[in-house]
């Protein structure tokens, strides 16, 4: 009788251990709620930094609305002291 109880208990534990875990809830996207505007002059081979504060976790959208004269630039967005994600525009 004890071996039947032991077998049933073992099968119950194995069955519970093989169950799929519950997936975490999908986060709700938050629309952008802050606009920063920067103006200035970028010299040839120059670097310009515009710091801004991020108030919550989420995506960042960067838009260059005007550049005169038109030129190829390297744009980086990231944290100071961390690896910067760069995209050529």
Confirm whether 18 is domain-assigned: no
Confirm whether 35 is domain-assigned: yes
Q: Which domain holds residue 56?
A: 25-89
Instruction: Tell me how many domains the chain contains.
Output: 1
pLDDT (average), residues 22-45 = 79
Confirm whether 4 is domain-assigned: no
- Give the global pTM: 0.45
pLDDT (average), residues 2-24 = 68
Q: How confident is the model at residue 18 (pLDDT cuts 50, 70, 90)?
A: low
Mean pLDDT of the chain: 75
Confirm whether 59 is domain-assigned: yes
Confirm whether 58 is domain-assigned: yes
Confirm whether 70 is domain-assigned: yes
pLDDT (average), residues 3-19 = 65
- List, for residues 43-71, the tens digit of each pLDDT value: 888 888 888 877 777 777 888 888 888 88
Confirm whether 3 is domain-assigned: no
Q: Which two tokens stand for residue 7?
A: 């077998």
Confirm whether 7 is domain-assigned: no
Write the DSSP string, the chain. Answer: -HHHHHHHHHHHHHHHHTSPPPPPPPPPP--------------TT----------SSS---------SS----EEEE--TTSPPEEEE-
């Amino acid at each position: 009788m004890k071996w039947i109880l032991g077998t049933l208990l073992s099968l119950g534990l194995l069955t519970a251990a093989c169950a799929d875990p519950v997936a975490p809830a999908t986060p709700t996207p938050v629309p952008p709620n802050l606009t920063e505007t920067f103006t200035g002059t970028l010299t040839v081979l120059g670097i310009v930094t515009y710091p801004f504060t991020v108030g919550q976790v989420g995506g960042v959208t960067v838009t260059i609305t005007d550049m005169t004269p038109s030129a190829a630039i390297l744009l980086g967005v990231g944290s100071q002291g961390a690896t910067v994600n760069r995209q050529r525009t």
